């Protein structure tokens, strides 16, 4: 699977924001420099990510003294998949370019395992769509794959 630091850092920063903002979206904003320090992420990198998160409707910016960012909606309504997609992070497990007629093998064919990896990508997306920021902050993620597996089998 290919998930760069952009997606991981965006989720880390949003989880930090969810943990430190009271009463989203009405609570006091959190400054990016505080998130950068706690999560050990470059402030300039976070600024770039939060531009995308704001455009994606996931955070609200407050300017001026005491400014910073707040969640646009509650942590229980913010899915991890939304965060990753907001920062333009594709979830990709095949070598093929999406929508391209060119196959995994560099010609027009696809490798014999293409369907396996393509389905894995879909399962990852489904999993990330089933997990919210609240789940991450409240540490309810471990064992979740088993819960999804049981509900699919039922």
Mean pLDDT of 28-42: 94
CA angle, 130 as apex, 128 and 135 as ends, to 5°? 90
Task: Judge whether residue 154 has pLDDT over 90.
Answer: no
Task: Render pLDDT for 48-105 as a digit per residue (tens, 0 to 9).
Answer: 999 999 999 999 999 888 789 999 999 999 999 999 999 977 777 766 665 555 666 6
Reading the block at residue 43, the tokens are 């402030």
User: Would you state the pLDDT for residue 104?
Assistant: 65
Mean pLDDT of 134-148: 81
The answer to whether residues 95 and 116 touch, using CB atoms and an 8 Å cutoff, is no
What domains are defined for the chain? 5-153 (1.10.10.10)
* Among candidate residues 69, 45, 74, 67, the one with its CA nearest the CA of residue 55: 69
User: Would you state the pLDDT for residue 144?
Assistant: 65
Mean pLDDT of 107-126: 81
Task: Judge whether residue 15 has pLDDT over 80.
Answer: yes
| 70, β-bridge pairs | 60
Q: What is the mean pLDDT of the chain?
A: 84
The answer to whether residues 78 and 58 touch, using CB atoms and an 8 Å cutoff, is yes
Tell me the pTM.
0.81
User: DSSP assignment of 37-57, as one string?
Assistant: HHHT--HHHHHHHHHHHHHTT
């Amino acid at each position: 699977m290919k998930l760069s630091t952009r997606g991981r850092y965006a989720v880390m920063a949003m989880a930090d924001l969810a943990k430190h903002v009271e009463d989203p979206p009405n609570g006091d904003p959190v400054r990016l420099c505080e998130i950068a320090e706690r999560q050990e992420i470059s402030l300039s990198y976070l600024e770039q990510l939060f531009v995308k998160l704001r455009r994606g409707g996931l955070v609200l910016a407050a300017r001026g003294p005491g400014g910073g960012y707040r969640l646009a909606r509650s942590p229980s309504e913010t899915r991890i998949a939304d965060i990753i997609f907001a920062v333009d992070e594709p979830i990709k497990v095949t070598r093929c370019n999406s929508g391209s007629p060119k196959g995994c093998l560099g010609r027009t064919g696809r490798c014999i395992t293409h369907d396996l990896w393509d389905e894995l990508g879909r399962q990852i997306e489904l999993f990330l769509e089933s997990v919210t920021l609240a789940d991450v902050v409240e540490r309810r993620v471990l064992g979740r794959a088993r819960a999804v597996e049981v509900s699919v089998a039922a």
